[in-house]
Structure 1
Amino acid sequence: MDKQFVPCMLALATLSCATSLWAQTEPVPLRWNADRLGNHRYSVQVDAPATAVRVVLPWRRRDVHPEQVAAIVIGPDGQVVNNVVRVHIDQADGELAFEAKQTGVYAIYYQPYVTGGHPNYPTVTYPTPANTADAQWLRRSGAADPGRERTLPEAHVLGYQAVDDFDAYTDMERTATPQERQALLAAHPGAPWLLFPETREHPVRMFQQIPERWAQRGAGGTFADSALRGEYLSFQVGIWTARAAIHHVQVSFADLHGPGGATIPSSAMTCFNLGGIDYAGQPFTTHVDIAQDRVQPLWMGVDIPTTAKPGVYHGVVTIGADGIPAQQVPLTITVGAAQAVAHGDDDPFKLTRLRWLNSTLAQDDSLVKPFTAITVHGATLGLLGRDLTLASSGLPRQIDSRFDERMTGFANKPMPLLAAPMQLLVQDGSGTHALHAPETPSVHSDGPAKVHWQVDGRAGPLHAAVDASLEADGTLTYSIALTATQPTSLDDIRLEIPLRDSVAQYELGLGRTGDHAPADFNWRWNVENNQDGAWIGAVNGGLEFHLRDEHYRRPLNTNFYHQQPLVMPSSWDNDGHGGVTFKRDDARYLVQAFSGPRRMQAGQTLHYDMVMRVTPFKTIKPAEHFAERYFHAYGDLDAIKAQGANVVNIHHATPINPWINYPFLEPAKMRAYVDAAHQRGMQVKIYDTIRELSDRAPELPMLESLGHEIISGGKGGGFSWLQEHLDGDYIAAWHVPENRDAAVIDAGQSRWHNYYVEGLDWLARNIGIDGLYLDDVAYDRTTMKRVRKVLQARRPHPLIDLHSANQFNPRDGYINSTLLYMELFPYIDHLWFGEEFDYQHTSPAYWLTEISGIPYGLMGEMLQGGGNPWRGMVFGMTNRLPWTGGDPRELWKQWDAFGIEQADMIGWWVHDTPVKTGRDDVLATSYVRHGKTLIALASWAPAKTQLRLHIDWNALGIQPRAATLRAPAIAGFQPAAVFKPDDAIPVEPGKGWLLILQ
């Protein structure tokens, strides 16, 4: 055997070995079929044929029960060896005896698995051992006879290999043997816990067992590493609770002392596991307890000043816990003379970006375009297109909308939304009492984009404390604390929202899809449903409301709602007594959120939290919308531009963005593509959201160390890498078979949002991305605002579009996608709704409220099956290239031929729209230019119809006698046709026309 071959084989994950060496000895190709054989194997050398040979594999397995997992032996000829005996199997090693008919290298695959289920949500199982050995061979070889196997010829272990470098077990995943553990304990008699300092290059990967590396190196010692000036240096101290559980871990740092009296202050150091800055910008601390015989890495960091004097710095970190003597870990950090670039953040594997977890970037009350500063005139608060007048209770006395019905501008006369002031009512035996205070609250400014106020009042027998705020996008947040001063019995506590009847045209939420608002409706709380509010309104004025618990956290969404469902609000729900009713009554539409009877003790406080949003958030911009033609796929830019598209969405699982929600590992490729697009006058947006996180993220082991702060807890499973390298307490998410990318679900609100915002800032600065494609995001408006601010600060015309599959189904808790994401709508530019949306069998009201985005200030495109191009055009929608089911290119050409970007869009919902059909089931939207109008007709009628257009000639500026009405030929959409303006126009069910009147 070539002497160079042996050390190559003995190395961990020997994929760097020369192919020529493998050609001499390797039984199967270097990259094998992992789905059949698994990701791990040992190669062993058999020097001479034998009835049976013996081998001991020093695998140091991290899976707890290797005796329950099969192994596969493959001979030099590539064939499976069936005659195999598992002599002894445990975590430390595995002893096998197998038939060896040939001399050469055998491969033993020791974690084979079977993949089933959906390709993107695979079910991976590890088969149990099966007895495939022939009985005669067993007798003849003696392989199964106790003790006799020791006399068998011995195969020599050459080394361990993994299917690729990423799947290989690291040195932090090879477990210590029981003997090594005992030796380590013996070296530290009586110690309840042991500390192991580690550099960032060796992240702790196991939390239930210690690695061989620690057992052989020993506990304690000095942490030593080097860094450049201005670099953020991260490191770990691993804790093994060898003999006892510990409670309330504490960490303190001392100043680092360097050459010539130079110091790095202790304030430059942090321990991420013990707290930081949360996603909302608030400091927090974490109480860390560690069960006995567990491993807990404490991740720490030191921000080396750019002015640090080069040289060696010494200090200590002290780690203690309740009732246990503290231990000190000496620190030795060598600071180099060179300056780090951007703290070292350009290399994700250096883990300098961990400091992003505590970032407050864009965490302020500054304005986001197009919103305007909130004005305060006494009790009236003004914001973009809306006014809010407060009552003495702190609740709205009136809300006015100044948006016009076209949604492209503002009306001369405001439209009031309320028929009477909102009230919070407390009902007891003596009557019904409204929350009130002596005078109108004083409003205080937090910044141009936010104001707040407080009320100290009463509601019958209860004291009321109201904390409220209004933001520039139209979001109202209330925290109302009701306290009993003495024991009292209550019949009800309820909120009343009396909307004007003319405003309450449409409704969605509380288990109803978008439609006309019902005359009567009753709803009750149910944790199986992700439902806590609704939207009610007209196109140019409406109100969204949500009733919340004071400990509200955003539920998981997109297939995972039931694994972190809604926190049922104890006040509003009241053990099932609460609910919501709608009632249309004369000139008002009354919404009542009631909580039912209860008894309160003296001093008891109930929290009635709620969030409301006044819609629309902003005007629609049809000209910009029609100018932005989407190509939703990675591809050749010249070919994309030739098809008429100018905005490219780069999904994950593409060459420049291969890993889901971690777009940092191919920066050169991404930058080159973005630069090339900009040279062609095109924009590039990337897929990046934090609903889930790729296993390729270098920070993943550190995030595991934070418990469930960032990675949601669950039953584990999923793709093989997750099962083999994580400790099982996670929710398996999206998997891309083509590049073996697997993800885990993130918590809905965590410090990973801080990292995400910093990451987008890095991408905008260094890569030049023009925006984001969001696919069913998990974060709330707090993070969405920051995202918008960062992109607006870095890019001249950032674009954000939001895609969602229809989430009105049992696995998602019957939540309307529009309602789920409405809080994000102020900060995005387009909607793309989406898989499982029904474009063929739903009403115009559904299209308007659930799909189009228009009542909220957005426009969008269609997806499922290409949508319905005729109905889409009455909302200004097409589908996107290159998705199957529809092709918008011919429509785009017609847009350009007509000049749609220079037209005024007047939708069918506008009361004085200049072109009407006289029907509710065949609708017309007009695109009006000087001297000509493009009319989009679409039918929801069950059968073919004949209709005559009702045209306001004066509004269009066209002389009827000279007018022509023609349908241009549009491939896949309509044939050419000519009509007279007063002709009866035939319209097929589910279809329509594009007609040019001039």
Structure 2
Amino acid sequence: MKKYFPAFLILLSGYTAFAQKIPYTNCKNCWLADSLGNHRVVLTFNGTGKAAKVIIPWRRRDNDPGNKRIIIEDAKTKQKITNVKAGNINRESGEVVFEPTSGKGTYFVYYMPYKNEGRSNYPQGVYLKPENTASPTWLHSLGAHIPLATVKEFQSVDGFNSFYPMEVIATKKETSALVSKHRAERFLVFPEDRLNSIRMTKDLPRRWIQLGPQSKYAATALRGENFSFQLGVYALQNLDNVKVTFSDLKAASGKKIPASAIFCINTGGTAYDGSPLTKTVNVAAGNIQALWCGIDVPANAGAALYTGNATISINGKASKQIRLSVKVSSTLAKNGGVDEPWKMTRLGWLNSTMAQKNTVIAPYTPLLVKNNTVELLGRKVEVNSDGFPKQIQTFFTPGMTEYTDKPNNLLTEALHFHFIKPDGKNIKLKSQGLQFTKQEPGTVQWTATSANDSLQMEVTASIEFDGFMAYTVKLTALQNVDFKDITMHIPFKRDVAKYMMGLGEKGGYRPENFEWKWDVAHKNQDGAWIGNVNAGLQYSLRDEKYMRPLNTNFYLQKPLVLPSSWGNGDKGGIKVKDDGKAVLANNYSGERKLNKGDVLYYNFNLLITPFHTINTDFQWATRFYHAYKPIDTIKQVGATVINIHHATAINPNINYPFIAWKAMKAYDDSAHAVGLKVKIYNTIRELSNHAYETFALRSLGHEIYSPGKGGGFSWLQEHVSDDYIAAWFVPEIKDAAIINSGMNRWHNYYVEGMNWLTQNVGIDGIYLDDVAFDRVTMKRIKRVLTKDGHPGIIDLHSANQYNKSDGFNNSANLYMEHFPYLNRLWFGEYFDYEKNAPDFFLTEVSGIPFGLMGEMLQGGGNKWRGMVYGMTNRMPWSDGADPRPIWKVWDDFGMKGTKMIGYWVDDTPIKTDHDKVLATVYKKNGAALVAIASWEDNDTDVQLKIDWEKLGIDPAKATITAPAIKGFQPAKTFGPNDKIPVEKAKGWLLIIK
């Protein structure tokens, strides 16, 4: 079905003067794009002979068109024509001679054919080079006068690939004439409709030549609508610090739309963390800058014509005024118009502060300050007079199922700095006192200053309700001073510092002595987690230049910035040493000299773990189905929550779940009707090219999208052109993503979007596939997902980040700041469940030391080892590891209300007589389910060591049975003293009653 765009006049420069109207059309499914390209020209030939000539006024935005192949096809026979000769091929037009093999009729010219190379999900569109297939005989037969073929229309494979109207370029002649006419001006302004996103930055669109620059803009908007428009600035000279300001828009009646309701996203707004954002816009001569503007039309605005001005200034000096005329209709926009995002009604979301206030999120409790101690859920921090933690305590049992009154002290002494002179002596600073500057339920802040005659240390710190602590340590030289070293010591208690993860170490038992050096060019490492199951501390070293790096395959393209303080060139590093009394994390920065007035920032973050007790009942009752399937099918398998991935019918576009939202709502409603919940894939790391706001976001430079070498799928090369990083691609629907730059205003849009989906579509949570945002955004997301009683379930999947592309980080260490708001982990791809030891399972996969539980993924996991940590795999991810037989055991046994006692608990009631065969007990009154798993190198026999009194079961009446579980174990009965055969890498589920 062809869709015709409005025709426009095309003038052929450099040729005999004539004009013709040539329509731009879509011809969906008319040809296979991946072999012939996304664009073609339809020709009509009415002449005779063995040759036809055409001059195609294609006005192409791509560079070097002469280096791309031209394929001509006979429409009648569908055959490729081999006798083709290209003449002058340039961006404005192309001359081609070909053999009209069917005589009079229609012929197709494909002028950007390509082939995809590389991985199917990371393709590289490679445009085919010109080829010479014409026979010498045919070439020799060409005469001076060749009959002309006529260009009938320009076609795109679909509307999404069309260049019309904003990517049809003006010719050099047209552009020169425009510039010459306005040579006295510094720039020209082309107001543009919101539906015609300005896409090109170096070429004027032909449309603007026709319309000419304007000093006025008129539009129609609804009452209450989030209306948007563009001011296209074409620089005739270099322009510095371009700003746009607005007057009130006034109606004849005296009513007005205040200037405060009008904004430009390019020149300022609100950052992702709620702070004011000012942007500097510079435009080089010959370039185009789109200024995307918005008008929040008041709902109570009367139907009338409102007029005012937009003033564009350069370097603070007013330069041009654009008269704005907005006719407001009597119709009230529903929900501000955001239900119709293709009208660019959501641009204001970029400046949203929704859910920014740091209110306490369940299950956390308000912070409480008593003297110099801050109390929070399951933890306490005593603050020393210098502002650093004097003691950190947690109040969790080793099993992580309960809180306790007995504190677990993390430190042997206060966290502290050493300022060491060249002679080895320590420069001592005197504290000037501690002052609490903010005491709110969600945040407590304090300051402390310590100094002597040569050095001053100003500490500003805060703790939040989830256990996150942020330290800004400003060090100022009051005199010239030399240092042998500046270090920060974290003295852990030995029993707390049992495990370690980070700094190049896989999760597991802490090495006795360990040393690490900065290598930001290759390694996404700036700290570690050190702890035990029920008490631990993650810390990361940063300074004032910190920027969150990219992750998930792209770390090397935007790595960490080496802290000038902690890194100190190549002098800084970390040593972790066990001295028998304590485990000292010595964070050193090495030799340096400070001149009077020099300032360094030794900033760092702390995160106190665990965050809360584990919710075992949620684990047993909440069963994810990770696929888009009919509701009845999912209900029948016993799942309770559906995860809808992207690249599905109701969520087709990666991280942009707003296009098929009506179908998504219908699906959600059907699921809710039978008691199921629905979560969707939506994160920020990359963004679909189908996002309606793609080119508005591109107008923000590198704020939203990372800089890069471009390439990737053909659509990106043809429309985004350059300076981006191509990301995930779905071949079936040709959804091509672009990498996000990190911390930016798209997070504000993300929060608003998640709120809209929760309130209007009825989603019950989100599935996160790795995360590119920080804890500020995570907290906001949790708030909007759980607002008004919505469940707000969040699970996080991660592929193992310990590889070159990801900077050799640990997934759990990388994402630990998000753990307080997750309901489940799914770690994950490229995790080896067979070769890794139990301490790796516990720290990197299970989530238990942080108050979480998880599931397995790669190869379906190891079902026996998984049950030691309460983990199964996920339906229907792996046919060979169907979790339903284990779900049935859970239900038959009655897992709800059981107490999980892991093998890591010293006084567990059941152990085996083999150190490498571990047992976890799920205990309730009169019964216990025991998960046994082996890490032995061979098959073995084990005997259970049961403390019957702790188990609460009379051994004289006890039975030990192994229920038959398909694919897991046969039915069997054991006596209390029987040897139990355990196969290598397998185990048992035993019921003791």
Aligned to 2:978: 983
* Residue identity opposite 1:309 in structure 2: G
Structure 1 residues 466, 432: closer, same or farther in 2, change over 3 A?
farther
Alpha-carbon distance between aligned partners in 2 of 1:855 and 1:836, rounded to the nearest angstrom: 21
CA contact (8 A) 1:874 1:936 kept: yes
CA offset digits 1:172-223 (Å, max 9, x no partner)? 1000011111221232132221111111011101011110011111112311
Mean CA deviation greater in 916-925 or 230-239: 916-925
Within the candidate set 238, 255, 261, 1:262 is matched to 255
Structure 1 residues 375, 782: closer, same or farther in 2, change over 3 A?
same
CA contact (8 A) 1:916 1:923 kept: yes
Q: Say which SS state the counterpart of residue 749 (structure 2) adopts.
A: helix
Within the candidate set 184, 195, 200, 2:194 is matched to 200
Aligned to 2:819: 825
Mean CA deviation greater in 786-795 or 839-848: 786-795
CA contact (8 A) 1:437 1:457 kept: yes
Aligned to 2:78: 78
Structure 1 residues 7, 330: closer, same or farther in 2, change over 3 A?
closer
Mean CA deviation greater in 201-210 or 866-875: 201-210
- Residue 320 of structure 1, CA deviation: 1.6
Are 1:174 and 2:191 counterparts? no
Alpha-carbon distance between aligned partners in 2 of 1:917 and 1:532, rounded to the nearest angstrom: 39
Within the candidate set 939, 946, 950, 1:944 is matched to 939
Mean CA deviation greater in 160-169 or 421-430: 421-430
Alpha-carbon distance between aligned partners in 1 of 2:271 and 2:543, rounded to the nearest angstrom: 19
- Residue 838 of structure 1, CA deviation: 0.5
Q: Say which SS state the counterpart of residue 406 (structure 2) adopts.
A: strand
Alpha-carbon distance between aligned partners in 1 of 2:279 and 2:417, rounded to the nearest angstrom: 36
CA contact (8 A) 2:453 2:478 kept: no
Aligned to 1:95: 95
Aligned to 2:790: 796
Q: Say which SS state the counterpart of residue 570 (structure 1) adopts.
A: coil
Question: What TM-score results when the alignment is normalised by the length of structure 2?
Answer: 0.97
- Residue 976 of structure 1, CA deviation: 1.0
- Residue 797 of structure 1, CA deviation: 1.9
CA offset digits 1:272-316 (Å, max 9, x no partner)? 111110000000211111111111111111111111121111111
Are 1:231 and 2:225 counterparts? yes
Q: Say which SS state the counterpart of residue 51 (structure 1) adopts.
A: coil
Alpha-carbon distance between aligned partners in 2 of 1:510 and 1:936, rounded to the nearest angstrom: 33
Alpha-carbon distance between aligned partners in 1 of 2:257 and 2:296, rounded to the nearest angstrom: 9
Structure 1 residues 215, 446: closer, same or farther in 2, change over 3 A?
farther
- Residue 957 of structure 1, CA deviation: 1.5
Structure 1 residues 50, 323: closer, same or farther in 2, change over 3 A?
farther
* Residue identity opposite 2:803 in structure 1: N
* Residue identity opposite 2:716 in structure 1: L
CA contact (8 A) 1:632 1:650 kept: yes
Are 1:643 and 2:663 counterparts? no
- Residue 412 of structure 1, CA deviation: 2.6
Aligned to 2:12: none
Aligned CA RMSD, in angstroms, stands at: 1.7
Aligned to 2:737: 743
Within the candidate set 407, 411, 416, 1:414 is matched to 407
Alpha-carbon distance between aligned partners in 2 of 1:690 and 1:11, rounded to the nearest angstrom: 41
Within the candidate set 841, 849, 856, 2:843 is matched to 849
Alpha-carbon distance between aligned partners in 2 of 1:446 and 1:86, rounded to the nearest angstrom: 75
Aligned to 2:894: 899
- Residue 435 of structure 1, CA deviation: 6.6
CA contact (8 A) 1:31 1:164 kept: no
CA contact (8 A) 2:421 2:427 kept: no
* Residue identity opposite 1:84 in structure 2: V
Alpha-carbon distance between aligned partners in 1 of 2:750 and 2:6, rounded to the nearest angstrom: 45
Alpha-carbon distance between aligned partners in 1 of 2:788 and 2:770, rounded to the nearest angstrom: 24
Q: Say which SS state the counterpart of residue 438 (structure 1) adopts.
A: strand
- Residue 429 of structure 1, CA deviation: 3.6
Question: What TM-score results when the alignment is normalised by the length of structure 1?
Answer: 0.96
Aligned to 2:624: 630
Alpha-carbon distance between aligned partners in 2 of 1:83 and 1:920, rounded to the nearest angstrom: 78
Structure 1 residues 408, 676: closer, same or farther in 2, change over 3 A?
same
Alpha-carbon distance between aligned partners in 2 of 1:447 and 1:52, rounded to the nearest angstrom: 83
After TM superposition, the structure 1 = structure 2 runs for residues 557-596 of structure 1, keeping only pairs within 5 Å, are 557-596=551-590
After TM superposition, the structure 1 = structure 2 runs for residues 383-462 of structure 1, keeping only pairs within 5 Å, are 383-429=376-422, 431-433=424-426, 436-438=429-431, 440-445=433-438, 447-458=440-451, 461-462=454-455
Are 1:124 and 2:125 counterparts? yes
CA contact (8 A) 1:249 1:319 kept: yes
CA contact (8 A) 2:480 2:594 kept: yes
Q: Say which SS state the counterpart of residue 15 (structure 1) adopts.
A: strand
Structure 1 residues 457, 355: closer, same or farther in 2, change over 3 A?
same
CA offset digits 1:91-132 (Å, max 9, x no partner)? 111111101121211110110001110000001111221121
After TM superposition, the structure 1 = structure 2 runs for residues 773-812 of structure 1, keeping only pairs within 5 Å, are 773-812=767-806
Aligned to 2:903: 908
Q: Say which SS state the counterpart of residue 26 (structure 2) adopts.
A: coil
Alpha-carbon distance between aligned partners in 2 of 1:699 and 1:435, rounded to the nearest angstrom: 56
* Residue identity opposite 1:572 in structure 2: W
- Residue 324 of structure 1, CA deviation: 7.0
Mean CA deviation greater in 320-329 or 579-588: 320-329
> Unaligned 5+ residue runs, structure 2?
9-19
Are 1:712 and 2:706 counterparts? yes
CA contact (8 A) 1:424 1:434 kept: no
CA offset digits 1:410-455 (Å, max 9, x no partner)? 1231110101111011111465447755355122335311110011
- Residue 368 of structure 1, CA deviation: 0.6
* Residue identity opposite 2:71 in structure 1: I
Aligned to 2:16: none
- Residue 919 of structure 1, CA deviation: 3.0
Structure 1 residues 744, 6: closer, same or farther in 2, change over 3 A?
closer
Alpha-carbon distance between aligned partners in 1 of 2:897 and 2:441, rounded to the nearest angstrom: 34
Alpha-carbon distance between aligned partners in 2 of 1:796 and 1:120, rounded to the nearest angstrom: 34
Are 1:667 and 2:661 counterparts? yes
CA contact (8 A) 2:262 2:294 kept: yes
- Residue 49 of structure 1, CA deviation: 4.3
Alpha-carbon distance between aligned partners in 2 of 1:276 and 1:727, rounded to the nearest angstrom: 27
Alpha-carbon distance between aligned partners in 2 of 1:816 and 1:459, rounded to the nearest angstrom: 41
Alpha-carbon distance between aligned partners in 2 of 1:687 and 1:904, rounded to the nearest angstrom: 32
Within the candidate set 489, 512, 516, 2:482 is matched to 489
CA offset digits 1:518-569 (Å, max 9, x no partner)? 1100100001100000000000000000001212111100000011001111
**Sequence identity of aligned pairs in percent?**
48
CA contact (8 A) 1:923 1:937 kept: yes
- Residue 920 of structure 1, CA deviation: 2.5
Structure 1 residues 5, 906: closer, same or farther in 2, change over 3 A?
closer
Alpha-carbon distance between aligned partners in 1 of 2:556 and 2:936, rounded to the nearest angstrom: 39
CA contact (8 A) 1:180 1:216 kept: no
Aligned to 1:33: 32
Alpha-carbon distance between aligned partners in 1 of 2:913 and 2:578, rounded to the nearest angstrom: 26
- Residue 731 of structure 1, CA deviation: 0.3
CA offset digits 1:554-609 (Å, max 9, x no partner)? 11000000110011111000010000000001221000000000011110001101
Q: Say which SS state the counterpart of residue 754 (structure 1) adopts.
A: helix
CA offset digits 1:931-965 (Å, max 9, x no partner)? 11100000001111211111111122211011111
Are 1:315 and 2:308 counterparts? yes
> Unaligned 5+ residue runs, structure 1?
17-28, 143-147
CA contact (8 A) 1:394 1:468 kept: yes
Alpha-carbon distance between aligned partners in 2 of 1:832 and 1:155, rounded to the nearest angstrom: 61
- Residue 88 of structure 1, CA deviation: 1.2
Structure 1 residues 222, 718: closer, same or farther in 2, change over 3 A?
same
Aligned to 1:251: 244
* Residue identity opposite 1:641 in structure 2: K
CA contact (8 A) 1:273 1:299 kept: yes
Aligned to 1:21: none
Alpha-carbon distance between aligned partners in 1 of 2:612 and 2:228, rounded to the nearest angstrom: 44
Alpha-carbon distance between aligned partners in 2 of 1:82 and 1:688, rounded to the nearest angstrom: 48
Structure 1 residues 6, 481: closer, same or farther in 2, change over 3 A?
closer
- Residue 30 of structure 1, CA deviation: 4.5
Aligned to 1:55: 54
CA contact (8 A) 1:764 1:794 kept: no
